[in-house]
């Protein structure tokens, strides 16, 4: 029995694309989804989002407002969690 299988280029590309997607999903599932973000500094988070260049002004404004209202990023919760 032969150890070789022949497929068309389009089928090969399709299978290769599926493999990449599977690997991304597998990596996402294997990481800790509930791990705390590395910072509680809204300014640092916003600086990084703005620097990426991927997000429009409206999204960034909405994100910043949400982070400021978030109990996770509030000074009160930061003090409570550091005890």
pLDDT tens digits for range 30-80 = 777 677 777 888 999 899 999 999 999 999 999 999 999 888 887 654 444
| pLDDT band at residue 81 using 50, 70 and 90 as cut-offs | very low
Listed residue (29, 21, 48) closest to 37, CA to CA: 48
The confidence score (pLDDT) of residue 75 equals 62
The confidence score (pLDDT) of residue 14 equals 97
The confidence score (pLDDT) of residue 30 equals 78
Q: Is 36 helix (H, G, I), strand (E, B) or coil?
A: coil
């Amino acid at each position: 029995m032969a150890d070789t299988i022949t497929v068309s280029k389009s089928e090969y590309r399709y299978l290769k694309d599926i493999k990449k997607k599977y690997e991304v999903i597998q990596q996402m599932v294997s990481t800790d989804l509930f791990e705390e973000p590395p910072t509680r500094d809204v300014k640092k988070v916003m600086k990084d989002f703005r620097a990426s260049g991927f997000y429009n002004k409206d999204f960034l404004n909405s994100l910043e407002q949400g982070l400021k209202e978030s109990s996770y990023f509030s000074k009160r919760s930061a003090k409570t969690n550091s005890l």
